[in-house]
Structures are given as C-alpha cells and as structure tokens.
Amino acid sequence: MAELSSTGAILQCKCPQCRKGNIFKHSILNPFKYAELYENCPHCGLEYEVEPGFFIGAMYLGYGVSIALMVNCLVAIYVIFDDPSMLTYLWITALITVVMIPLNFRYSRALVLHLFGGIKYDSTL
Ligand SMILES: [Zn+2]
C-alpha cells in the first residue's frame, strides 16, 4: 500500500505518526458515535491527546470554520434566491451548519493534531 501524504492523512483522519491507524473509532456517518476517538493509535500506540485539554484548540478552529460556513451560506442564499425572507436565511443556514457538524468536528481535531501536536511522521512504523 502506498504511503499517505500529510494532507492525505489529515483528509482520511489517520494518525500523524504512522499515517496508518485511524483517529476516530466509528464512521462519520454514525450520528451518535462520530465524535469518539481512540485514546491511542491502534497501529503504533501514539497517545492522541498530547496534553490535557489539547483538543480545546480544535473547538476554536471548529467555531471559526462554522462562522465562515454560515457567512458563505448567507451570501449564497442571497445570490441564489435573490434576497428571500429572513426565515429562509435562518433555516437553510441552520440546516447546512448542523449537517456539517460531524465533518467540522472531525477535521478540526485531525488538523489540530497534525499541525500542533508536535508529532513527527515515522515511515518505519
Ligand atoms: Zn499511529
């Protein structure tokens, strides 16, 4: 199997050290368990929570991404529907934001772990 690039490992939510083990236990399509992540990498044993509260940074990243998504939704609704009622803005933006929660949550954590975890890739694992 070909080795994953750093970007590929982030997109597939793989361990930053071995790029083989999954970060999350369940599929993103599981609405009740999409947020459960392994404490350690199932392949190399790396502890994912580098320090206590490490993933709080992911919460800030997710918040920023949510705001950017909402602004983009509002602009798209304005352009597509030619300035509809306030309720149309509200419902479409809320629906899209809620549907994107699992994606936002997982990629925020994967990005923070890869970018700020201080973990080097080891191709021998
Ligand atoms: Zn690993």
Does a structural domain hold residue 39? yes
Distance from residue 89's CA to the centre of ligand 1 (Å): 43
Q: Is residue 12 a part of any domain in this protein?
A: yes
Domain count, the chain: 1
pTM equals: 0.86
For residue 70, the model assigns a pLDDT of 96
Distance 60 CA to ligand 1 centre (A): 25
80 within a domain of the structure (yes/no): yes
Percentage with pLDDT > 90 across the chain? 90
Across residues 66-71, what is the average pLDDT?
96
Q: Is the pLDDT of residue 86 over 80?
A: yes
Domain of 40? 6-116
Ligand 1 center to 66 CA (angstroms): 29
∠113-28-33 over CA atoms, to 5°? 90
pLDDT in the model for residue 1:
63
Q: Is residue 36 part of a domain?
A: yes
Mean pLDDT of the region 62-82 = 95
Whole-number Å distance, alpha carbon 47 to ligand 1 midpoint, is 9
**Residue 3 confidence (pLDDT):** 86
The answer to whether position 124 is within a domain reads no
